[in-house]
Structure 1
Amino acid sequence: MRERWRAVGVLAGALFVVNVVARLVIKFGFENDDTAADRVSLVMFLVIGLILAAVAFRWGRDRPVGRWAADLTAAVAVALALTVFVGPLLVGNSPFAGGAGLFFAQIWLYLAAAGAGVLVGYLILTALGRDYRSQQLKRYAQLKAAKPRKVVRR
């Protein structure tokens, strides 16, 4: 159980670090350029989606959907809370400095990027037939095919 929560914590930390790096790049490189800041934010959301796609692909191979989905949900929830409340403080802003619209837009965009990443990773894994359920069905079919037929006496 300890290893499970460690993996969730590391994933949440990695997602938060991606956000912090994007915020620092915007602060020091593109402070007054809104177009460049939007591009950096887009790249950040793409990186978050790619990380989650890779994790969903990896965890989906050897764990049931319910287990890895709960782990990913917990990691995304922690990373989202850190991103929304702690991230702005690291660059000298208030979490609510941009108003309620920006605050909630940040949450929706983060959830959309996370959901899309997980969905892409799991769909690729399922399409390749390497997900946990497909592997279970494959082992079951092999086991049933390996048993010899019973001879029926009349």
Structure 2
Amino acid sequence: MGQRWRAVGVLAAALFAVNVVARLVIRFAFPDDDTAANRVSLVMFLAIGLVLAGAAFRWGAARPLGHWAGDLALAVVAALALTVFVGPLLVGENPFGGGAGLFFAQIWLYLAATAAGVLVGYLTLTALGRDFRSRQLKRYAELKQSRPRKIVRR
């Protein structure tokens, strides 16, 4: 059980680290360039999506969907809370400084990027037939075909 929570914590920390790196790049490399800041933010959301696609691909192969989906959701919520509330403080900004519109836009964009990443990872895994359920059905089919047919006498 401890290993399970460790994986959730590491994933949340990795997602938060991607955000912190993006914020630091924007702060020190492009302090006045809004176009570059938007591009760095886009790259950050793509990186977050790729991290989650990899996690969904890896966890989806080893465990049923119901087991890893909750863990992934918990990691995303923890990383989102850190990103929205702690991330701006690390670069000297107020989390609510941009107003309610920017605050909620961050949340919706983050959730969209995470959902897209998880979907890409899990759908790729399913299309390749390597997800837990597909492998389980394949083992069942092989087991059924390997047994000899019972002859019934009447």
Instruction: Give the TM-score range, shorter chain.
Output: over 0.9
User: How far is the alpha carbon of 1:20 from its aligned partner?
Assistant: 0.2
Q: Deviations over 1:48-93 (max 9, x none)?
A: 0000001100100010001111010000000000000000000000
4+ residue stretches of structure 1 with deviation over 4 A?
Answer: none
> Which residue matches 1:104?
104
**Contiguous gaps of at least 5 residues in structure 1:** none
Aligned pairs, how many? 154
> Which residue matches 2:119?
119
Give me the identity figure in percent.
77
> Which residue matches 1:59?
59
Alignment of 1:1-154 (within 5 A): 1-154=1-154
**Contiguous gaps of at least 5 residues in structure 2:** none
User: How far is the alpha carbon of 1:150 from its aligned partner?
Assistant: 1.4
Letter in 1 for 2:31: E
| Structure 2 CA distance for aligned equivalents of residues 65 and 153 of structure 1 | 43
User: How far is the alpha carbon of 1:151 from its aligned partner?
Assistant: 2.3
Root-mean-square deviation (Å): 0.6
| Structure 2 CA distance for aligned equivalents of residues 136 and 70 of structure 1 | 21
- TM (norm. structure 1) is 0.99
| Structure 2 CA distance for aligned equivalents of residues 45 and 63 of structure 1 | 26
| Structure 2 CA distance for aligned equivalents of residues 128 and 65 of structure 1 | 16
- TM (norm. structure 2) is 0.99
